[in-house]
């Protein structure tokens, strides 16, 4: 009986141990190797502990690691034992500077082999990992923002990324090659830049490399679209600060319109237009890709981001979002779809009717939801035969909706007409170039009419009061009677009063005389 109870307690203990300290996420029994997510986690821990970034953990750095994980430093003799054990299993695991990355990983493989799994999981959890070898959900606080607010990286995060860029640029050519970019996310679960929407969103050189501007542009896009995911990757890469200090929430766009200025560093422009209007060609030009005659329809929204230098002190990250023709309906089904937009841009190369209908549909949506957005119209001049007619029609459209005259652009000819600079400038003045719908124009005309009527009425009433007071003074002097005063007021042929509001003067005179007398 006692033996059975012991067996049951042992089973319970083992079950609890496996639940609290699982082996499956750490070790592959078939291949007898550490699993890739665990290796990535160990690499990140190593980088965080390598304070001087020399690629090895010194005795002091090993002690920092030990205190963080187990609340007690190594004794000098214990450090010697650790190095001896690692060197015996992996000679290159220890060098003159200390324990190398390979040695650190080898040490944890020995932990799993020789020691209780609690040690390994203690290390992982001290560095913020959960049971899936991913950062714990509570490590990054939730983000609160209004629909018309966006998120950007702080200067602290940008400085950190610039140091990361310099550290990865092993050949000092100011460009990160594909293998160096792969190294960038070697401590994260996976690289986010190999998939949509980041894969083809920035300018690359002929070898697929990224300049510093392109590198930071990719981070600006990721932070704009998925700020929490962006912060997670910063933490995976070894960001030491408080995760919430890596990002900031911008001012609301409706406040920008009131103040007539935007202070955003990352501006998002939605590009609308009918099929074959040249939207994709414009995005390709923006990120340095050659013009292609082949027509490839865009089936889902596409992004392109690059740096636009307005002045030496004013550098903006401009995000162009191409809205596919079939995506317009889906976009406008969401009441908040234009809230994140700083600028809308109509690429007009086809019929004026199609472009006009599309633009007015978008403008009405902005008006109905309260998220009105400035607008520019561009006309492609690659086809000289149709350009003259296109620019005339686009000019009429811009006049009808009250926005800036259309901008001719020749992507095929390499003539951008400074379009991206103009987009940023317009986005920085969000109170201008708001397209006016028919309903809005009618409403404004109505308010002008009411205002003019009130002004006329107030002037007419003031003149009537003056007349009444003069007659009242004459009556007090005994020069005329009350009956004569009222009769004079009614029969007044004052040209000034009649010209201001003739149809209402009789009633105004009657009631004013009644009140005053």
Where does a domain end: 425, 440, 455?
Answer: 440
Residue 133: inside a domain? no
Residue 396: inside a domain? yes
CA-CA distance, 170 to 416, in Å (whole number)?
35
- DSSP E strand stretches across 281-393: 302-309, 315-322, 343-347, 375-380
- Indicate if 46 and 90 belong to the same structural domain: yes
CA-CA distance, 461 to 200, in Å (whole number)?
69
pLDDT at residue number 466: 60
Residue 79: inside a domain? yes
- Indicate if 180 and 320 belong to the same structural domain: no
What are the residue ranges in the chain where pLDDT is below 70? 1-21, 348-352, 381-387, 438-517
- Indicate if 425 and 364 belong to the same structural domain: yes
- Indicate if 241 and 310 belong to the same structural domain: no
pLDDT at residue number 80: 93
pLDDT at residue number 323: 92
Q: Which domain holds residue 73?
A: 1-127
Q: Which residues contact 130 (CB under 8 A, 6 or more apart)?
A: 136, 137
- Indicate if 218 and 322 belong to the same structural domain: no
What is the widest separation between alpha-carbon atoms in the chain?
130
Residue 323: inside a domain? yes
pLDDT at residue number 7: 46
What is the pTM (predicted TM-score) of this model? 0.80
Contact, 262 vs 256, CB < 8 A? Answer: yes
- Indicate if 293 and 426 belong to the same structural domain: yes
- Indicate if 122 and 187 belong to the same structural domain: no
Which CATH number characterizes residue 120's domain?
A: 1.10.238.10
pLDDT at residue number 359: 85
Residue 447: inside a domain? no
CA-CA distance, 178 to 168, in Å (whole number)?
11
CA-CA distance, 65 to 74, in Å (whole number)?
10
Q: How, if at all, do strands 210-211 and 175-176 pair?
A: antiparallel
Where does a domain end: 222, 249, 276?
Answer: 249
pLDDT at residue number 438: 62
Which CATH number characterizes residue 418's domain?
A: 3.40.50.300
- Indicate if 227 and 271 belong to the same structural domain: no
- Indicate if 9 and 115 belong to the same structural domain: yes
Domains identified in the chain, total number: 3
pLDDT at residue number 17: 52
Where does a domain end: 410, 440, 470?
Answer: 440
Residue 516: inside a domain? no
- Indicate if 202 and 343 belong to the same structural domain: no
- Indicate if 159 and 88 belong to the same structural domain: no
What is the Cα Rg of the chain in Å? 36
Residue 433: inside a domain? yes
pLDDT at residue number 488: 61
Percent pLDDT > 90 in the chain is 51
- Indicate if 217 and 274 belong to the same structural domain: no
- SS3 for 199-235 is CCCCCCCCCCCEEHHHHHHHHHHHHHHCHHHHHHHHH
Residue 471: inside a domain? no
């Amino acid at each position: 009986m006692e033996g059975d109870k012991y067996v049951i307690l042992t089973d319970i203990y083992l079950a609890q141990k496996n639940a609290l300290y699982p082996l499956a996420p750490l070790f592959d029994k078939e291949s007898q190797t550490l699993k890739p997510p665990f290796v990535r986690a160990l690499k990140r821990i190593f980088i965080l502990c390598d304070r001087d970034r020399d690629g090895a953990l010194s005795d002091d750095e090993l002690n920092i690691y030990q205190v963080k994980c187990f609340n007690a430093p190594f004794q000098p003799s214990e450090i010697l034992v650790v190095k001896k054990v690692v060197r015996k299993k992996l000679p290159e695991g220890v060098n003159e500077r200390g324990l190398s990355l390979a040695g650190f990983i080898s040490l944890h493989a020995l932990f799993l082999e020789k020691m209780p799994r609690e040690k390994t999981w203690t290390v992982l959890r001290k560095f913020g990992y959960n049971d899936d070898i991913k950062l714990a959900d509570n490590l990054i606080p939730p983000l609160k923002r209004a629909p018309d607010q966006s998120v950007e990286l702080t200067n602290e995060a940008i400085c950190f990324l610039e140091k990361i860029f310099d550290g990865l640029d092993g050949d000092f050519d100011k460009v990160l090659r594909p293998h160096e970019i792969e190294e960038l996310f070697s401590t994260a679960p996976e690289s986010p830049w190999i998939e949509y929407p980041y894969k083809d969103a920035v300018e690359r050189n002929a070898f697929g490399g990224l300049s510093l501007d392109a590198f930071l542009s990719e981070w600006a896009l990721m932070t704009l679209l998925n700020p929490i995911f962006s912060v997670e990757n910063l933490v995976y890469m070894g960001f030491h600060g408080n995760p919430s200090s890596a990002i900031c929430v911008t001012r609301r766009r409706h406040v920008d319109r009131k103040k007539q200025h935007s202070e955003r560093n990352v501006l998002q422009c939605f590009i609308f237009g009918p099929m074959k209007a040249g939207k994709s060609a414009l995005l390709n030009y923006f990120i340095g890709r050659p013009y292609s005659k082949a027509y490839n329809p865009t089936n889902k929204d596409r992004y392109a981001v690059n740096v636009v230098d307005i002045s030496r002190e004013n550098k903006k990250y401009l995000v162009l979002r191409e809205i596919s023709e079939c995506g317009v309906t889906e976009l406008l089904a969401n009441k908040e779809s234009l809230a994140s937009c700083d600028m809308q841009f109509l690429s007009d190369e086809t019929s004026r009717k199609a472009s006009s209908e599309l633009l007015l549909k978008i403008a009405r949506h902005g008006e109905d939801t309260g998220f009105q957005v400035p607008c520019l119209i561009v006309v492609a001049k690659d086809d000289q035969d149709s350009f003259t007619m296109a620019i005339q029609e686009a000019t009429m459209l811009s006049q009808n909706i009250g926005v800036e005259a259309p901008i001719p652009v020749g992507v095929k000819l390499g003539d951008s007409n400074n379009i991206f600079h103009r987009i940023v400038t317009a986005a920085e003045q969000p109170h201008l170039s708001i397209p006016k719908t028919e309903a809005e124009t009618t409403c404004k005309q109505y308010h002008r009419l009411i205002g003019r009527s009130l002004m006329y009425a107030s002037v007419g009433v003031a003149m009537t009061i003056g007349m009444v007071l003069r007659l009242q003074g004459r009556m007090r002097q005994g020069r005329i009677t009350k009956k004569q005063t009222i009769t004079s007021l009614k029969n007044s042929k004052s040209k000034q009063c009649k010209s201001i509001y003739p149809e209402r003067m009789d009633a105004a005179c009657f009631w004013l005389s009644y009140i005053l007398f």
